[in-house]
Structure 1
Amino acid sequence: MFKMIKPKALTLGIILIFLLNPSNAWSQTNYSVLDFWKYYSDAENQLYKQQAEISFQSLAKRKESISKLHTKTDWEGRQGWVKGRLQESIGDFPERTPLNPIITKRIKKDGYSVEKLYFESIPGVKVTAAFFIPHGKRKNLPTIIYCSGHSDLAFRSDIYQHVILNLVKKGFAVFAFDPYGQGERLQYFDQHLGKSRFSPTREHSYPGAQLFINGSSTAKYMIWDGIRAVDYLLTRKEVDPERIGITGRSGGGTQSSHIAAFDGRIKASAPECYITTMEYQLKSGGPQDAEQNFPKGIQLGLDHADLLQVRAPKPTLMITTTRDIFSIQGARDTYEETKRAYKALGKEGNLLMVEDNAGHQSTLNNREAMYAFFQKHLDNPGNSKDEEVVIFPVEELYVTETGQLSTSVGSKFLFHLNSDRTKKNLVLLNEGRQNLNQHLINLKQKVKAISGYTETAKKAKLIFSGQTEFEAYFLNKYLIKEEGDKIIPFITFVPKHPMGGSVLYLDNMKDKESSEAYAIPIQMAQKGVTVIVPDLPGYGELGPGYLKGDAYFENTSYNQWFAGILNGKSTVAIHVEAIETLLQVCKTDLKLDDKEIMGISKGGFNSSLLHAAVLGVDFKGMLFLDPLLSFQSVVSDKNYNPAHMPFTVAGALPNYDLQDLSAAFAPKKLKIITESDTLAAEQFKKSCEFVAKRYESMDEANNFSITKINAAREAMNLINAFISDF
């Protein structure tokens, strides 16, 4: 995941250890703390389970409030409340601007025609679509918006075409559009490959994570596409504005339920293979790709049922299967709860649920139930039998000449929208920095509120787990046992001839059998410094856990990070709380009260250290090896490193960035060592100019530095110079 010492540097580190430790005993050392503690064999799932437990508390409060609703007035009050919470989560939608629709071609078939078109949901954002219109009556037709699931072909895939064409044969007009990252809207299209570099899920979640950091979401823009699709349909004489429905399966179920919850012009909604409860979602597959996760949705008191209840008593059909990836029990529970709302509002018959014994798929029984539902509630009676249809070749349904917006008429995508937002956020952030003193005074409260950090006294017990003696130091193993089954495994390197002081060293210690990962702590111990090396939640023996999910990219689980998006508790906040507990126990039980502690990290753990420092941990100094530059560097890079994502905080921009935390650390010593290329190193320095000026203003310019290195020996020399302050 994180960039470790390069092979040449690694060899050098091993040689140095070997020279200082000729017995070579370290090569047989097992650095694992938990090997001995079989009870904690599930510790790698601790981070996710901690996140889930936080969510369960909010969901329990929601259940309690729902249990108190009985009358029509109660439920109408709840609906108004839910609308407010949904809007609070999503934020303001973009401005309604001209759609500028362009019909690129018309196709006539036996019994219907197809118009291929695109419109602009936001200036520059083109949405490719196909409008299927049955022959005969050409005005005031019942119309269905069809939302595609996670197929790279979108509505052109065989199963989606089958449903669309069946609806058309039954007299419905159908409007099918491509979501971001699918069909002709591939955002990472590679002309040499002739396809996207990413799967549809990654097409959503990879830029979606950037949107979260900037205080936005993929859900907002997908919902907005659907709202603008309704806007377009209302310009067409073929469409009856009082008979608009929406459906879709899987990711299309997500979109259709979300769009219908926000757009009251949609009369009938039939989401398929999506609706469940967040409790069972968290207990089964976990949070899924970006657009399914409303920012702080669970913290705000929302669940899947609210997407249906907020539109009651409008007709709604839940289409489910018993072996779906979305829990069928959750779907049943949501149906029972939502039925109470419909009953109180006098329209119990407007809520239906169909269930078939199948997996995550479209079934004959479910399709026919959906046809019948729309025929009844959009006043279009007829035969609801599923029929054979002639499927279009994919290319025949291309809207653009090349089959991709990026290589034909061009379009903005999620990354571009996020870039626009990044520029605005940077302006706001720089404006705040103009009065730097006040900005830094307000910083702790901002960080606390946005990251989800909670300042609470934690009961913890230190458990000693063994010692190994080396020529120059002792290797000690410990567990810290917190409330419940939460633990913090850590080891200490204690020199036999200490020079005073301690270092908290953070890195992703994945290989517990290899001393190579411990080269730096070992060398510091041999220099006389006590080094504390913990595993923080999600890393080492506390990660990554089972939740790899549909958004597991390059050994990083976005799904796990999304759990914190839902409940407002960032991974970074959990790290800070673990660091606080660890250091408090070490100071008290290991008698470090009178010793100063420095922080050293590799990779993105500098974010954890900086957040800990601004939230109250008293480090004498900090040194970062190849750190995460900033949140802005992540949101600005179309090809950012996924390993950095867990160390970012959703909604941090435009409120603060890592440089602000660095400036708040002044005038204490802060050293940054980077292996970046020269250009990247210069950009790093430029982004930290105001941090350097902060140190200068406090007459401690030498306490802040950014150094580019080429070899491990340089890094170790700088580390030795850094710890010489002890």
Structure 2
Amino acid sequence: MPRPRPALAPALELPAWSRRNVLQWSVGATLGAPWSQGLLGQETPATTLAPLNRFPRMVQEFFVEQVRAAEQLGLKRKTALRSQADAEAYVREVRELIQKSFGPFPEKTPLKPRITGALERDGYRVEKVIFESRPDFPVTANLYVPKGRKFPLPGVVGSCGHSLNGKAEKAYQSFCQGLVRQGYLVLIFDPIGQGERLQYEHSHDGEVPVRPGVGEHIHAGNQQFLVDEFFGSWRAWDGIRALDYLLTREEVDPRHIGITGNSGGGTMTTWLAGVDQRWTMAAPSCFVTTFRRNMENELPADTEQCPPRCLAYGLDHDDFLAALAPKPVIVLAQEQDFFDARGAEEAYGRLKRLYALLGKPDNVQLFVGPRPHGYAIENREAMYGFFNRSTGIAEGGTEPELTLEKDEDLQCTPTGKVADLKPQRTLFSFTQEKARDLAAKRVSLESGDLKAAIQDVLKLPAQHDPLDYRILRTIGGRRYPRKFFTTYAVETEPGVHAIVYRLTDETHISRPTRGVDHCVLYLGHQSSDADLRNEPLIKELMTAEPGVPFYTCDVRGLGESTPDACGANSFLSQYGSDYFYSAHGIMLDRPYLGQRTHDVQSVLRWLVQQGHTRIHLAARGWSAIPATFAAVLVDSVTQVTLKNSLKSYQQLAETEFYRWPLATLAPGVLAKFDLPDCYLALQAKQLRQVDPWGPLMEPDGNA
């Protein structure tokens, strides 16, 4: 029977799911107790041994080096610019690379806008607007329209940060009122998963708690990767369609169209500058820094803040704003922000040089406010002044007196939920539909074609021989099935080690003993150390093949190299270190799952170097997925046992609620193959599957 689920509070009682909240999010609150229960074994408090972890900084430092190399790739191009022609060519190049990262956008469909009400205020009117960015995918927005002025007037699109109440957040109401009182039409819209656009409203009575804001973004966005979609592109498309709607209004002067937003809204302001050059000015707040600063500072970011392949292309935050050059741009930062102001200064310096080459050095500016993260009054006034100088609509930038509205008074829908509109689709319904379309088009792959597809999807690097390794000192008292074990740190690529244990009945402190061609290699779910004390499959494997050398392996980021980054005990949280590196793997075009598969391949090759040419590969849970791919690819694997392996990516993509983390998902996989294709191929290697797991990481019958 399914495990009992915790009771969940009604949606309106949930805390505002801002980025600041998420950075403080604990493991239990993140994914619910059932998700993390038992993942590291079943020891009781009286008998628990802390899992071994001798390489907690390994993964962090590896990714730091990768991101630094990507930054240098981009800087090399920037420093080579010498003339206006060079700068113009660079702007064209970054626009093309950004489009490759965000992928092709869909065809534009009718907006079907409707005004559901209005608030008449002194000096302006707030119209309640609903339009469709995609068929049956409604966007709720407020349009602030000045009164008593001669039209057309400049227009601004406002992009919200991670506020639970979306467009009604005080800081966002403030800049909308501040702009409209100075003569701008302002359209601000709810992001997906915020305000009136919650996508998982019903989940609060369901099996998996999906919190508004960041929680919805990551849950939806991770799943989208399976069908080769990027949540940031969906967010950007909403912004593009918001601009389309704003330009339908005769009150708007298309010669003066701005975009601004804070935090997540600063992200979308930056991305939108990169993907649509109709903007004439931009003011991102509390986002722009550098990818290197975020990585070095261990700062996770939402799915939409991690564009696929952008680091592989050498792109950085400043490049998205460079795509708008030489149009006016002001970078707004805060001195006490978690988005490092040093990175904002570095981005500004790069833009300043580009703008100088383009002959418009004064069109790019930087303002650093004195406060922590947020669109505070100093930053808003810097934006007003900058936009006013760009448009000539007003002088100065002092914020006028404001009267903030109640959230409910700004709602566009009768109930405050687009979920109650008919017809209406959720983001998940689009993911499910595309997964089914891809399944209908997929063809069965022959062995060679399947191997090539795995290599392509996972972006696996070339293997190298010989593999060097370290022999670590002995640690006793671990209560393993055999009395002794030797630890080998196998270098799978520079700076990365897979940690291998060889269990023995007698003490052994040197290289592996040769002379036996057969062995067993077991990959633990999240820690070989924990599984060796608690996993029945290990005892079963040892009993079935007595006398056969028995090894275990922790791939990067698991077990002995579980990261201690992104805050204390963040590993299992939805916004923690495992997600952090998975997202960066996608930006680097080296999926984290592919990196772990490479580790398994490398250890298998290392075992062959030790004389083991017939290998029984066994794995459980998370590690069963890279083990599956490696087993298909490596000929020395002659037998395969998988426990708690994911049944199929197709099922996960078609199921609204799931628990598998991003580190276990292969980006774009369903366009080419699925796990059952691998399982079919492994029948030739005596595949045995034990208690496969469905999307909820439970036995498939309960998924």
The two structures have a TM-score, normalised by structure 2, of: 0.86
2:502 to 471, 474, 492: 492
Q: Which residue number in structure 2 is paired with residue 290 of structure 1?
A: 303
Change (3 A) 1:510 1:446: closer
Sort the Cα spacing of 1:508 and 1:604 in 2 relative to 1 into closer, same or farther, 3 A.
closer
2:284 to 248, 262, 271: 271
Q: CA offset at residue 304 of structure 1?
A: 0.7
Q: Conserved in 2, the CA contact under 8 Å of 1:596 and 1:619? A: yes
The one-letter code of the counterpart of 1:670 is L
Deviation string 1:347-377 (CA, Å, 9 cap, x unpaired) is 1111111112221122332221111111111
Matched, 1:539 2:558: yes
Cα distance between partner residues in 1 of 2:40 and 2:283: 54
Contact 2:532/2:538 (<8 A) preserved:
no
Q: 2:456 aligns with which of 441, 449, 460?
A: 449
Q: Does 1:405 align with 2:418?
A: yes
- What RMSD, in angstroms, separates the aligned Cα atoms of the two structures? 3.2
Contact 2:39 2:526 in 1 (8 A): no
Unaligned ranges ≥5, structure 2 = 1-34, 507-514
Equivalent runs, 1:152-551 vs 2, <5 Å: 152-190=164-202, 197-409=210-422, 411-429=424-442, 432-433=443-444, 436-437=445-446, 440-457=447-464, 459-466=467-474, 473-482=482-491, 485-494=495-504, 501-510=518-527, 512=529, 516-527=533-544, 528=546, 529-547=548-566
- Distance 1:229-1:680 versus aligned 2 partners, 3 A rule: closer
Q: In the alignment, what sits opposite 1:598?
A: 616
* Matching residue within 108, 133, 144 for 2:120: 108
> Tell me, what secondary structure is at the counterpart of 2:197?
coil
Structure 1 residue 105: deviation in Å? 0.6
What's the counterpart of residue 102 of structure 2? 90
How many angstroms apart in 1 are the aligned matches of 2:93 and 2:628? 37
**Contact residue 171 and residue 376 of structure 2 kept, 8 A:** no
Query: 2:606 matched to 1:585?
Result: yes
* Structure 1 residues 544 and 425: alpha-carbon distance in aligned structure 2, compared to 1, 3 A threshold: farther
Output the amino acid matched with 2:566. L
Native 8 Å contact 1:509 1:517 kept in 2 = no
Q: Deviations over 1:556-613 (max 9, x none)?
A: 732221011110112222222222332333443xx443x5211111113221112112
* 2:574 equivalent among 531, 534, 553: 553
Query: Which stretch of structure 1 is more off in the superposition, 175-184 or 464-473?
Result: 464-473
Q: Highest CA radius of gyration, 1 or 2?
A: 1
- Could you tell me how far 1:30 is from its partner in structure 2? 6.8
Between the aligned residues of both structures, percent identity stands at 28
Closer, same or farther in 2 for the Cα pair 1:288/1:165, shift >3 Å? same
In the alignment, structure 1 residue 639 sits paired with structure 2 residue 657: yes
* Structure 2 CA distance for aligned equivalents of residues 515 and 466 of structure 1: 16
Change (3 A) 1:405 1:366: same
The question of whether the paired residues in 2 share the 8 Å contact of 1:524 and 1:530 is answered with no
Residue 124 (structure 1) shift: 1.0
Mapping 1:600-679, distance limit 5 Å: 600-643=618-661, 645-674=662-691
Contact 2:617 2:641 (8 Å CA) reproduced: yes
Aligned partner of 1:446: which letter?
A
The DSSP-based 3-state class of the residue aligned with 1:466 is coil
Q: 2:591 aligns with which of 560, 563, 570?
A: 570
The answer for the alignment partner of 2:8 in structure 1 is: none
The 5-angstrom pairing of residues 11-30 of structure 1 reads none
SS class of match (1:44): coil
- Partners in 1 of 2:409 and 2:456 — Cα distance? 51
The letter of the residue matching 2:565 is Y
In structure 1, distance between residues paired with 2:383 and 2:580: 31
The answer on 1:64 being equivalent to 2:76 is yes
Given that 2:520 and 2:616 are in contact with CA atoms closer than 8 Å, whether structure 1 keeps it comes out as yes
Moved more, 627-636 or 262-271: 627-636
SS of equivalent to 1:105: strand
What's the CA shift for 1:337?
0.8
1:555–1:292 distance in 2 versus 1, CA, 3 Å: closer
Residue 454 of structure 2 aligns with an amino acid whose one-letter code is V
Number of residue-to-residue matches in the alignment: 650
- Structure 1 pair 253/447, CA: closer, same or farther in 2 (3 Å)? same
Normalising by structure 1, report the TM-score: 0.83
User: Which whole-Å deviations, capped at 9, do the CAs of 1:688-713 have from their partners, x for residues lacking one?
Assistant: xxxxxxxxxxxxxxxxxxxx99xxxx
SS in 1 for 2:669: coil
CA distance in 2, matches of 1:653, 1:296: 18
Aligned residues of 1:501 and 1:596 also touching (Cα < 8 A): yes
- Measured against aligned partners, the alpha-carbon deviations of 1:204-254 in whole angstroms (never above 9, x if no partner) come to 111101112211101111111111111111111111111111101101101
Residue 161 of structure 2 corresponds to: 149
* Separation of aligned partners in 1, 2:596 and 2:171: 45
CA shift in 2, pair 1:409/1:565, >3 Å: same
How far has the Cα of 1:471 moved from its partner? 12
Q: Which amino acid aligns with 2:485?
A: N
